[in-house]
Structure 1
Amino acid sequence: MRPLFAPLDRFRAYAPFLLRLAFACELFDAAGHTALHPAEGIPGYASWLTDLGFPFPTLSAVLSAYTEFLGALLMVIGWKTRWAALFLTINFMLAVVVAHLATADTYKNSFPAINLLAMSIFLLLNGSGKPSIDEGL
């Protein structure tokens, strides 16, 4: 007997594309202003990291903002997806642990970072899918 959803299997390679687009939109929303307007965004981000006791807050703010921003660009085009996902996984693991778990933040406030961590891990393990530069469009 043929499974009910078997006809959908031919579209499986395109599922990560939808995830990449949603992920990129969220990353642009989270880091776009900070990365595109560093004189305004970085000091506030660094101040927040200082309040959390994070080491090297200015450097950490720059690395995090640009990891998210460049990661979003790479996700949209599907190029170096697994490398971008690796760095984003590290970024969001730190975000979840340092900014949410260590401060006993609520699940509701932690959910965006947890969601972005889950998407990073999925793309790290599964790759970009189609269409993407990684998969040869």
Structure 2
Amino acid sequence: MRAIGGLEPGWGLTVLRIAIGLVFAVHGYAKFAAGLGKTSAFFAKVSIPLPELMGPVIAVLELIGGILLVLGWATRWLGLLFAMEMLVATFWVQMPAKGWNGSELERVLLAGGITLFFTGAGKLAIDQVWPKKGFPFSRFIW
């Protein structure tokens, strides 16, 4: 991508990454604050397979993954995981319950996750530093 008027496009990805990370981190925290039992019960109600396992897994993914996304670590893989989560949330949970007009947030987060998977972290990201310095797990991140 080319800069327009001196503005580097990577900064737009940075804003997107941080915003999406904050949304997921807050939702993950809310799942812990409400109690993982309530999250699992909701997952069972909407027929998510293995709700006792998936409730805590999704809560951890959202809280820890959201924080890591804000920091810009493993951005592409977290983008993919969040996109898969939002694919399920959109088409399995929200659209059957609320229809097309009730799933806007999930669809925007799905698009954002896909975008981060294809583009990477943008500026001010750990991903920009560690792979270049030989971080031990960098070959698994890219």
State the TM-score, normalizing by the size of structure 1.
0.83
For residues 25-47 of structure 1, the C-alpha deviation after alignment (integer angstroms, 9 at most, x for no partner) is 21122211224x4xx42111111
Q: Percent identity?
A: 24
Alpha-carbon distance in 1 for matches of 2:11, 2:99: 34
One-letter amino acid matched to 1:7: G
Alpha-carbon distance in 1 for matches of 2:24, 2:79: 12
Q: Which segment is superposed worse, 10-19 or 123-132?
A: 10-19
Alpha-carbon distance in 1 for matches of 2:69, 2:82: 11
Equivalent residue, structure 2, for 1:75: 69
What runs of 5+ residues in structure 2 fail to find an aligned partner? 131-142
For residues 10-61 of structure 1, the C-alpha deviation after alignment (integer angstroms, 9 at most, x for no partner) is 42111111011111221122211224x4xx4211111111111221111111
Equivalent residue, structure 1, for 2:133: none
Which of 105, 111, 126 pairs up with 1:118? Answer: 111
What runs of 5+ residues in structure 1 fail to find an aligned partner? none
CA shift at 1:104, angstroms? 4.3
After superposition, the CA RMSD in angstroms is 1.9
Alpha-carbon distance in 2 for matches of 1:89, 1:6: 29
The alignment covers a number of residue pairs equal to 128
Which of 105, 114, 121 pairs up with 1:128? Answer: 121
Equivalent residue, structure 1, for 2:13: 16
Residue 86 (structure 1) aligned with residue 84 (structure 2): no
For residue 85 of structure 2, give the secondary structure of its aligned residue in structure 1: helix
Answer yes or no: is the 8 Å Cα contact 1:16–1:123 preserved in 2. Answer: yes
For residue 71 of structure 1, give the secondary structure of its aligned residue in structure 2: helix
Equivalent residue, structure 2, for 1:27: 24
